[in-house]
A and B are shown apart, each in its own frame.
Chain A
């Protein structure tokens, strides 16, 4: 066993970890960053591929019958594999309340407070609104459909420099055009003196006298113990909750909120074959997120709507598609399925929404510390799903499209529950709150009753955002890092 000392230990290298790593290193702290996943060289390691073995090396999943999550375990966290959509959470997000009428976000945190940190995050990631001439065909067709119905649609914002629209955002950008953290925060943190170790998993936290922390880490059979004056958890919504739950025996003041209140952006999907009077889309080429987002129904339905694409192509195998009303059997394989698949690239349109669904999912560790997810579908959530699906289908049908039924399957090919949600936008397992009976950390990101222990990743975000979560996680991490810098003296 090896013992090491550092001023600041940061666990994780994704959107929640990179900002504190950089800012605290810049402030003169001795910063060590550990990452469970493998090292990635953004100029060499990414591939344009549909090879599941490549993807599964970096992307992990966790599922229950109602909820299916995807997250990354690699240097840079999800940033190497995200769609690079970088949107600010709308103001309405911060006003959400729980079923007792209490605000989900802690006092004093709202869009106006986050805006300066969004500014910083956007500058770092070179976030810009996509110009009209770069909106991919699928986005153009979606925009045209909204236009025909008199609805608004906005060009979305992306973290990129020199995107060619290859369509392989989620397998990692081989052109280094997508602004992952591998191109900015992490190398800048290293330049400022931070040390990054990969393939090193934190497996337990032990509080020490004097508000210091020891973290047990594992790399294969090797065990390393880090001692730090400041400990920042940034391993993501699942990773951080898992580490805290696994450390519960040594952390008696932790409370019972860890793992609870997970929000998941209530994603609902609908698909159709385009009407004859609509031009071709392109499900394969062009940015993975096809350029456009509609806020038209944010106030009325609590959702944003975008078009979806089918990359990587495993996604197409992961769903059973059949033209609604298809009488031929079999309809999800064989001739009928082949006919549909051959129309897929040009004539299939898929819409998906992200919504302000309540934080009703829960992450826990079962026997043997097996990770478990639970989502009880409330009548409210069921109504949301039906209402949103009707809305998406209505947009398709009023454009003359022919609906395509979607049935999601798991890796064994078995159909999932019809009312289920799949997402990479899970947040909130260690949410910020005004008091320890409602959350795990205070508004500054410090764990209640554990001075010097901070959480800065998606797990502290207390609600669904109705847009992609990465920019908000990063902005909030910048805010938390600024607070740590301000209140913690350098050694």
Chain B
């Protein structure tokens, strides 16, 4: 091998290795399995399974993927990569690339592994958890429904807001009117 070819080969090897190891590069270069670029259903299933692990017991996990795929949030640009990363870690940790088929405990371990990753990976995983929690707990896609899972009623429907014996709760005031002197 000539010196020039050897250098070219070495540069190619290093670039490939760097791309595999470095999350920002993999995102930039779109270096993740084609399944997660071409199969929206696979991405959706994976993200729903992610939501079910972030908020165990919540039954409407179909809603969990909605915010992560909502193009009004920047995260949607990374959703495919994120789903593939869950799959990659699932294969490495549990030996099964189908993240959505893992138990909640296994998924939790996979997510924890991502949260212990490099800076960009950590940011991606934290962002996904944050957005999942935000969208589900706040009921942001349905003003009427709220989130029954945490007792949030959504739009106000005439709930009783005070206890019936208000004076018994109140200590002596310091002011006459509510304004400090």
A418 at the interface (CB under 8 A from B): no
The 0/1 profile, CB within 8 Å of A marked 1, for residues 144-181 of chain B is 00110111111110110111001101111111011111
Whether A316 touches B137, Cβ cut-off 8 Å, given contacts A129-B177, A285-B159, is yes
CA distance A383 to B137 in the complex (A): 35
Question: Do A317 and B137 touch (CB < 8 A)?
Answer: yes
CA distance A87 to B179 in the complex (A): 6
Instruction: Give the interface segment out of B4-12, B13-21, B49-57.
Output: B49-57
The 0/1 profile, CB within 8 Å of A marked 1, for residues 55-79 of chain B is 1111000000000000010000000
Question: Do A293 and B178 touch (CB < 8 A)?
Answer: yes
Task: Indicate the member of B55, B156, B167, B177 with the most A CB atoms within 10 Å.
Answer: B156
Q: Taking CB as reference atom, which chain A residue is nearest B107?
A: A334
The residue that B127 contacts in the complex, of A285, A329, A338, A412, with Cβ under 8 A, is: A412
A203 at the interface (CB under 8 A from B): no
Question: Do A50 and B54 touch (CB < 8 A)?
Answer: no
Question: Do A338 and B171 touch (CB < 8 A)?
Answer: no
Prevailing SS type, chain B contact patch: loop
The 0/1 profile, CB within 8 Å of B marked 1, for residues 150-170 of chain A is 111111110000001111100
CB distance from B170 to the nearest CB of A (A): 5
Question: Do B177 and A147 touch (CB < 8 A)?
Answer: no
Question: Do B53 and A154 touch (CB < 8 A)?
Answer: no
Question: Do B162 and A164 touch (CB < 8 A)?
Answer: no
Chain A residues with Cβ below 8 Å from B156 are: 48, 164, 166-168, 285
Question: Do A285 and B179 touch (CB < 8 A)?
Answer: no
Question: What size tier do the contact residues of chain A reach?
Answer: 35 or more
CB distance from B93 to the nearest CB of A (A): 15
A344 at the interface (CB under 8 A from B): yes
CA distance A150 to B133 in the complex (A): 39
Question: Do A282 and B170 touch (CB < 8 A)?
Answer: no
Whether A413 touches B127, Cβ cut-off 8 Å, given contacts A50-B139, A317-B133, is yes
Question: Do A341 and B150 touch (CB < 8 A)?
Answer: yes
Question: Do B139 and A295 touch (CB < 8 A)?
Answer: no
Question: Do B172 and A136 touch (CB < 8 A)?
Answer: no
CA distance A132 to B162 in the complex (A): 9
Question: Do A313 and B170 touch (CB < 8 A)?
Answer: no
B129 at the interface (CB under 8 A from A): yes
CB distance from A364 to the nearest CB of B (A): 26
Chain B residues with Cβ below 8 Å from A154 are: 173-175, 178
Whether A153 touches B133, Cβ cut-off 8 Å, given contacts A48-B143, A52-B140, A140-B162, is no
B138 at the interface (CB under 8 A from A): yes
CB distance from B119 to the nearest CB of A (A): 10
CB distance from B23 to the nearest CB of A (A): 14
Q: List B95-143 residues whose CB lies under 8 Å from chain A.
A: 108, 111-112, 115, 123, 126-131, 133-134, 137-141, 143
CA distance A143 to B162 in the complex (A): 13
Whether A312 touches B161, Cβ cut-off 8 Å, given contacts A49-B143, A153-B170, is no
A146 at the interface (CB under 8 A from B): yes
A450 at the interface (CB under 8 A from B): no
Chain A residues with Cβ below 8 Å from B178 are: 87, 129-130, 154-157, 293
Question: Do A136 and B162 touch (CB < 8 A)?
Answer: yes
A90 at the interface (CB under 8 A from B): yes
Question: Do B134 and A314 touch (CB < 8 A)?
Answer: yes
Whether A50 touches B138, Cβ cut-off 8 Å, given contacts A317-B130, A333-B129, A345-B152, is yes
CB distance from A137 to the nearest CB of B (A): 6
Question: Do B155 and A48 touch (CB < 8 A)?
Answer: yes
CA distance A334 to B54 in the complex (A): 5
Whether A295 touches B174, Cβ cut-off 8 Å, given contacts A314-B134, A345-B150, is yes
Question: Do A414 and B126 touch (CB < 8 A)?
Answer: yes
Question: Do A346 and B151 touch (CB < 8 A)?
Answer: yes
CA distance A359 to B143 in the complex (A): 39
Chain B residues with Cβ below 8 Å from A409 are: 126, 130
Chain B residues with Cβ below 8 Å from A345 are: 150-152
Question: Do A90 and B55 touch (CB < 8 A)?
Answer: no
The residue that B177 contacts in the complex, of A49, A51, A157, A334, with Cβ under 8 A, is: A157
CA distance A304 to B72 in the complex (A): 39
CA distance A141 to B162 in the complex (A): 10
Question: Do B161 and A51 touch (CB < 8 A)?
Answer: no
The residue that A90 contacts in the complex, of B139, B155, B167, B180, with Cβ under 8 A, is: B180
A3 at the interface (CB under 8 A from B): no
Question: Do A151 and B54 touch (CB < 8 A)?
Answer: no
Whether A414 touches B171, Cβ cut-off 8 Å, given contacts A50-B138, A329-B112, is no
The residue that B172 contacts in the complex, of A50, A152, A313, with Cβ under 8 A, is: A152
Question: Do A135 and B169 touch (CB < 8 A)?
Answer: yes
Chain A residues with Cβ below 8 Å from B173 are: 152-155
A286 at the interface (CB under 8 A from B): yes
Chain A residues with Cβ below 8 Å from B72 are: 53
Question: Do B134 and A52 touch (CB < 8 A)?
Answer: yes
Question: Do B169 and A136 touch (CB < 8 A)?
Answer: no
Question: Do B108 and A412 touch (CB < 8 A)?
Answer: no
Chain A residues with Cβ below 8 Å from B133 are: 316-317, 333, 337
Chain A residues with Cβ below 8 Å from B152 are: 284, 313, 345
> Footprint of B on A, CB under 8 Å?
47-53, 87-88, 90-92, 129-130, 132-137, 140-141, 143-144, 146-147, 150-157, 164-168, 279, 282, 284-287, 292-296, 298, 304, 312-314, 316-318, 329-330, 333-335, 337-338, 341-342, 344-346, 409, 411-414, 467
User: 9 tightest A-B contacts by CB?
Assistant: A413-B130, A166-B156, A50-B138, A413-B126, A147-B171, A317-B134, A90-B180, A313-B138, A165-B161
> Footprint of A on B, CB under 8 Å?
53-58, 72, 108, 111-112, 115, 123, 126-131, 133-134, 137-141, 143, 146-147, 149-156, 158-159, 161-163, 166-167, 169-175, 177-181
17 A-B pairs, CB-CB below 8 angstroms?
A132-B170, A136-B162, A151-B171, A152-B171, A152-B172, A155-B178, A285-B153, A285-B156, A293-B178, A314-B134, A316-B137, A330-B111, A330-B115, A338-B58, A345-B151, A413-B129, A414-B123
